[in-house]
Amino acid sequence: MKNIRSIHAGNLPRLTPRLPDTHKGLLGHVLIIAGDLGMGGAGLLSAQAALRCGAGMVSLATREQHVSAALSRLPEVMTLAINSSAQLRPPLQRASVIVVGPGLGQTAWSRALLSTATQQSVPQVWDADALNLLAQGICNQPQQCILTPHPGEAARLLNIRTAQVQANRNNAALQIAERYNAVVVLKGHHSLIATPAGDLSCVERGHPVMAGAGFGDVLSGVIAALLAQGLPAYSASCLAVWLHACAGEHLARQGRGLAASDMCHTISTLLEEHSPCQA
């Protein structure tokens, strides 16, 4: 194993400043496949984060029952009612980055959409139930993939207990990266980012106020936005985890009850401080 790199502002990649004639078509199109019945908010959180972090276009493929709420909350997002894998194919063809998994569930609908997404060769971020289905052997992840497990999902991916993951997080992150040939973000206290080649970085930031529902969905959207704007998978993952953790620290003064949606504006502000939009 190579040395563990501690991530800080000085060794993080930066987005390239935008030229005056930049248009949305140059900034990527993120497609988020998310939100089975009863879990529609997860995809909205990912979409909001992707928008706030500068993706040129964002689409959300979700259950028909969630479309009205999505359009009301995020009119900038192209929200699509998807009832079958056939309906998913056109938006997949338009996407330059795909997020799969937030609130996806493990139903026949979920499995069909995930299986269809695996056929695309663009960069993908897999989270939540996409990881659970992967662990069950339902599908194989595509080549350009970032996996973002929390410790429980990591344990399922390795077929071990969560306590074993937590006892040696460095090894767990590297094992997942090697086994699935993917960049891995192992979330939790001092999140880790690992590559199949054995690179390992640690973000020693964050706050326990972030222990709540939806924070991982936001992180997936941030990673996707950075990918859409041209950062490689490992770089995008490191910068996204750092922004996410620092935003949590900034908002910690609010104490218990911080909502994941509160993070998006702060992450956007931190990203602008780190990588100004215009030079």
Q: Is 46 annotated as a binding residue?
A: no
pTM of the model: 0.98
Task: Report the mean per-residue pLDDT for the chain.
Answer: 97
Distance CA 258, CA 209 (A): 7
Band of the pLDDT at 3, cuts 50, 70, 90? confident
Question: What's the chain's Rg over C-alpha atoms?
Answer: 17
Q: Is 244 annotated as a binding residue?
A: no
Tell me, what's the pLDDT at 30?
Answer: 98
Distance CA 74, CA 213 (A): 20
Band of the pLDDT at 26, cuts 50, 70, 90? very high
Q: If you write DSSP's letter for every residue of the chain in order, what string do you get?
A: -PPEEEP-GGGS--PPPPPTT--GGGS-EEEEE---TT-HHHHHHHHHHHHHTT-SEEEEEE-GGGHHHHHHH-TTSEEEE--SHHHHHHHHHH-SEEEE-TT--SSHHHHHHHHHHTT--S-EEE-THHHHHHHTTS----SSEEE---HHHHHHHHTS-HHHHHHTHHHHHHHHHHHHTSEEEE-STT-EEE-TTS-EEE-----GGG-STTHHHHHHHHHHHHHHTT--HHHHHHHHHHHHHHHHHHHGGG-TT--GGGHHHHHHHHHHHHS-S--
Q: Is 214 annotated as a binding residue?
A: no
Mean pLDDT computed over 255-269: 96
Q: Among 64, 59, 72, which residue's Cα sits nearest to residue 40?
A: 64
The two three-digit tokens of residue 120, written as one number: 């695309």
Q: Is 189 annotated as a binding residue?
A: yes
What share of the chain in percent tops pLDDT 70? 99
Phi-psi bin for 255: left (phi > 0), alpha (psi -120 to 50), beta? Answer: left
Q: What is the pLDDT of residues 171-184, one digit of tens each?
A: 999 999 999 999 99
Q: Is 187 annotated as a binding residue?
A: yes
Q: Is 268 annotated as a binding residue?
A: no
Q: What is the pLDDT of residues 57-108, one digit of tens each?
A: 999 999 999 999 999 999 999 999 999 999 999 999 999 999 999 999 999 9
Judge whether residue 130 has pLDDT over 80.
yes
For domain 25-274, give its CATH number from 3.40.1190.20, 3.30.70.20, 3.20.20.70, 2.60.40.180. 3.40.1190.20
Residue with tokens 């659970």: 132
Query: Taking a C-beta distance cutoff of 8 angstroms, is the pair 81, 54 a contact?
Result: no
Q: Is 137 annotated as a binding residue?
A: no
What share of the chain in percent tops pLDDT 90? 98
Q: What is the pLDDT of residues 208-231, one digit of tens each?
A: 999 999 999 999 999 999 999 999
Tell me, what's the pLDDT at 279?
Answer: 81
Query: Taking a C-beta distance cutoff of 8 angstroms, is the pair 83, 252 a contact?
Result: no
Q: What φ, ψ does residue 57 adopt, rounded to 5°?
A: -140, 150
Query: Taking a C-beta distance cutoff of 8 angstroms, is the pair 93, 66 a contact?
Result: no
Judge whether residue 2 has pLDDT over 70.
no
Mean pLDDT computed over 11-19: 96
| Dihedral sign, Cα of residue 272, residue 275, residue 278, residue 279 | positive
Mean pLDDT computed over 10-26: 96
Q: Is 59 annotated as a binding residue?
A: no
Q: Is 221 annotated as a binding residue?
A: no
Tell me, what's the pLDDT at 1?
Answer: 55
Q: What φ, ψ does residue 141 adopt, rounded to 5°?
A: -75, 150
Distance CA 48, CA 221 (A): 7
Q: Is 211 annotated as a binding residue?
A: no
